[in-house]
Amino acid sequence: METNEREFEKTGGKKSKSVVVLAICVACLLVVNIGLVVFQVITATAAQKADKKVSQFIDDERERQAKELEGEAYQEDGYSVGGQYEIKSTTAISDAYKSNDNSQLNEQEVETLKLASDVIKEVVKDNMSDYEKEVAVYDWMCKNINTSEGGAISVPGVNTTEAVSTPYGVLTGKQAVCVGYATTFRLLMNMLGIDCHIVHNDYHSWDLVQIGEHWYHVDIYSDSSTGNYANFNMSDSMARNGHEWNDKGALPVADSYEYCYAYQNAVETKDINTIPKTVYSATYGVRENAAFYFNIGAFDATKSQRVSVMAEIMNQVFESGMDDNLSGKYIDCSLINVDENTTIVCYSLTDSRAGEGGEGEMSYEEIYQEMLELINKTFKIDFAGGYAG
C-alpha cells in the first residue's frame, strides 16, 4: 500500500506539474491573442482616424479652391488680348435684336445691329436647327471676312484697333484679327439665341458655343483661309492640341464629338496610300475649297508624318505647272488628335485662282472682249478695239 501510494504521488505529482505548465502556456497564448486583437482594433481605429483626417483635408482643400474661384471669376468682356485688342460686350445689341427694341442703343450699336441682322437674313433659313445656323454663320464669316494682321484699316467712327476687333469694324471693313472674329461670332450666336462665350489667353481668342446639350470650341480665325472646319466644334481635348487657356474652372466643359464636323465626316482609312487618289480625283473642277477628312486611327508619328509629306509633295506638283488642271491649286494639311484612338487628317484643297475668272480662268483676250462690250454699251458706241491678239 505504501509503495502504491508513493508511486501514485510520484506519477500524480508529475502529471499535475504537466497540467500546470500546459495551463500556463494556454493562458499565455490567450493573452497574446487578446493583445493582437486589441492591437488590431487600436490600429484600425487609428487608420480610420487618419482616413477621416485625409478626407477632411481634401474636403477643406476643395472648399478653399472653390472660394478662390469665386473670387477670381473668369474675365471675358474687358480683357485685352495682345495688350491692345479689348473684348467688348455686345449684350445690349443682341438683347435689342431679340426684343426688337433698339431705343437704348447708341448710333454705332444701331448700325452694328443692322449689319449683323443683314447677315442673319442672308444665311439663316426657316426651320434651321441651332447647328445648321452655326454652320451657316461660320461659312459666311470664313468666306467674307479676311484675316488682318492689325494693319491700318480705315472704318468710319472707330480707330484702327477697333476696326479689326469689334463687330462694327469687322462687319463694315470685312477684316479681323482673332478678337474680331470671336466677338462677331459671339454676337451673331447670341442674336440667334445660342449661348456663346469667348475663350482667350494673352495672345489669342476664340469661341465656346453651346449646341444642344454640349459645348464646343470654335476658332474661325484659324479656319478663315480654308473654311475646312478643322477648328470647328472641338472638344476640350481636341482644342488643347493647338490652343492654351486657363479658365479657372469658370467655363463649361466641352467633352462631346456629336457636332464636331471633322470627327463626324472623317472617313476611316486603313491604308493611307489611298489618300492621294482621293485628292487627285477632286482636283478636276475644284474652284473653291474642298475639305477631306481621313480617320487614320491611333496616333502614330511616322504615319502622321507620311500624310504631311504627301501634302507637301502634292503642293510641289501643283506648283510645277506640269498639269494645267492641277496648276494653281494648294493643299492645307491639318492633323487633329481627337483621342488616343483617333487621329483625323484634314486636307483642304483650294484653287488659288478661284474668284479671278468666275466659272473658269479667263484669258486676256476673253477679258478684253468682255470689257470692250461693256464700254461700248456704256458709251453707246461701236468701237472695234485695239487688241490684235
Q: pLDDT digits over 86-139, tens only?
A: 999 999 999 999 999 999 999 999 999 999 999 999 999 999 999 999 999 999
Cβ-contact 235, 339 below 8 angstroms: no
| pLDDT beyond 60 at 196 | yes
The grid coordinates listed for 352 are: 488659288
57-92 b/e (C-beta count within 10 Å ≥ 16 → b) = eeeeeeeeeeeeeeeeebebeebebbeebbbeebee
The mean-pLDDT minimum among 7-16, 41-50, 369-378 falls in: 7-16
Average pLDDT over the chain, rounded to an integer = 80
**Residue 318 pLDDT:** 87
**Residue 44 pLDDT:** 47
Residue with cell 449683323: 116
Residues 6+ apart with CB under 8 A from 282: 290, 292, 349
**Residue 3 pLDDT:** 44
| pLDDT beyond 80 at 312 | yes
| pLDDT beyond 90 at 237 | no
Query: pLDDT category, 24, cuts 50, 70, 90?
Result: low
Query: pLDDT category, 370, cuts 50, 70, 90?
Result: confident
Query: pLDDT category, 343, cuts 50, 70, 90?
Result: very high
The mean-pLDDT minimum among 2-6, 110-114, 299-303 falls in: 2-6
What distance lies between CA 103 and its chain's CA centroid?
A: 37
Task: Catalogue the E-assigned strands of the chain.
Answer: 80-81, 85-86, 146-147, 175-176, 196-200, 205-211, 214-218, 267-268, 290-295, 329-339, 342-351
Give the DSSP letter of residue 234: B
What is the mean pLDDT of the segment spanning 142-160?
Answer: 72
Cα→Cα distances 352→97, 123, 227, 330, Å? 38, 25, 14, 7
**Residue 270 pLDDT:** 86
Determine the Cα–Cα distance for residues 345 and 333; give it in Å rounded to an integer: 7
Determine the Cα–Cα distance for residues 239 and 77; give it in Å rounded to an integer: 22
Does an H or E element contain 187, and which? helix 178-191
Residues 6+ apart with CB under 8 A from 36: none
Query: pLDDT category, 211, cuts 50, 70, 90?
Result: very high
**Residue 187 pLDDT:** 98
Query: pLDDT category, 278, cuts 50, 70, 90?
Result: confident
**Residue 18 pLDDT:** 52
Query: pLDDT category, 57, cuts 50, 70, 90?
Result: low
Whole-angstrom distance between the N-terminal and C-terminal Cα of the chain? 158
Whether the pTM exceeds 0.85: the reply is no
